[in-house]
Amino acid sequence: MFRMVELIAKKRDGHPHTEAEIKFIIEGLTHQAIPDYQISAWLMAVYFQSMNEEEAFYLTKAMLESGEQIDLSSIDGIKVDKHSTGGVGDKTTIALAPLVASMGGKMAKLSGRGLGHTGGTIDKLESIPGFNTGLSSGAFISQVNTIGCAVAGQTADVAPADKILYALRDVTGTVPSIPLIASSIMAKKLAAGADVIVLDVKVGDGAFMKDASEAEALARVMVKIGEQYGKKVTAFLTNMNEPLGEAIGNRLEVLEAIDALNGQGPADFRHLIIDLAAAITYQAALYPTYEVAQNAAQTALDNGQAYARFEAFIKAQGGDLEAFLHTDSLAPVRVKAPHSGTVQSMAALDLGLAAMHLGAGRAKKDDVIDPMVGLKIFKKIGDSVQKGEVMAEIYSRTVADDSAVLKAITLGEKAVENPPLIVKKIGL
């Protein structure tokens, strides 16, 4: 029907593709009927010429239809989901899923492993002894019906075209393309079967998207794609110029999520999960207004309902929470301020990479994660610090070098305001 060389030239010259053309490309990719070098050339053309909203929708649809679409119809009520574009110290799902469940939501969450500075949600949860992420579809659905949430590993059958396409993007310098990112994320989210989706789009030094205007453009494209599928989609732009919360590292982040579920821990992390939970449950029509949903989320944290749901969630998936909580942490090395001042900025990505080098993340896919290691960063941008005050802790199996942490935290004399955590809300 089509010749790939002509489609490459069409996009190279800035012309939009039809739905049939994009379907031809994705089917050819999936069935290996189009060689990698032609797909790579097409990706570069897309990178430079971009795609309009219709093309992004067609690309999402084609990748979605390349594999399995999960049927959640046997789950009672409105099914909800959340996606984060990833950041330093992002343990949000671990606290958000039971919080939403305690508010009456049904969160059926498929998550992945991490490649980078820390593990993914699955890696973090597997720091709890016995926790099982390999749920059958029947067990997954049954658990969501009874407890209100489940977190399982992503199946290879969901959007297989995306996996192939991303591998090519990764080696051809075409990853940072808004329509390609949007369709990659939304194909997997739509395949997961939820009715309501909340997107946490990180922006800043520790995020994939460094520029706020580009992050907003990405968020708007994803919201539009979801709406075209009849889903209720909200996007939050959230600040990642400093780590979320204090903990960076798998076990440390689970412990911090537990603190948040008990109404404790870092204020920024509690603020985020309350607002995300409010957006999810309001969009699912569980509460009459967003403000009422916010109050309900705060109440669930304060009265123990959220933590009780977390305990049930961990037990249902085989986790031994008592063993986890009574495991001794590594002895931390304290990082002290070399002089007094105000925190001017943080190199959030460098802090994440420092945690990775301790063993908290993977530089290569076959690297083994050490769930015990990581960092805790006690200061935020704008905080005052006294000479000798503890700014951070390093949890390491070896002799810890604090130079990377000290270099990532800039102290100065100028007064600085802490930037807002939530930069913008789209679709709410």
Q: Which whole-number Å values give the CA distances from 259 to 10, 149, 151, 159, 233, in the listed order? A: 54, 19, 20, 35, 29
Q: Which of 91, 106, 188, 202 is catalytic?
A: 188
How many angstroms separate the CA atoms of 181 and 162, rounded?
A: 10
188 is catalytic: yes
How many angstroms separate the CA atoms of 147 and 102, rounded?
A: 9
- Token readout for 116 is 């980078």
- Token readout for 115 is 């490649």
Q: Which whole-number Å values give the CA distances from 50 to 12, 178, 350, in the listed order? A: 10, 8, 30
- Is 59 within 8 Å of 161 (Cβ atoms)? no
Query: What is the 8-class DSSP label of residue 362?
Result: B
162 is catalytic: yes
Integer distance in angstroms from the first to the last C-alpha of the chain? 42
In sequence order, the 6+-apart residues with CB closer than 8 A to the CB of 124 are 91, 94, 118, 250, 251, 253, 254, 371
31 is catalytic: no
3-state secondary structure of 265: coil
Residue 282 is inside which H or E element, if any? helix 267-283
Residue 73 is inside which H or E element, if any? none
For residue 264, how many other CB atoms are within 10 A of its CB? 12
Q: Which whole-number Å values give the CA distances from 422 to 45, 236, 309, 360, in the listed order? A: 34, 7, 26, 26
How many angstroms separate the CA atoms of 187 and 229, rounded?
A: 11
- The strand pairing partners of 385, in sequence order, are 341
117 is catalytic: no
Q: Which of 169, 189, 251, 270 is catalytic?
A: 169
How many angstroms separate the CA atoms of 269 and 245, rounded?
A: 5
CA triple 349-360-362, angle to 5 deg: 80
370 is catalytic: no
Q: Which of 90, 162, 275, 370 is catalytic?
A: 162
Q: Which of 17, 79, 83, 202 is catalytic?
A: 83
Q: Which residues are catalytic?
A: 83, 162, 169, 184, 188
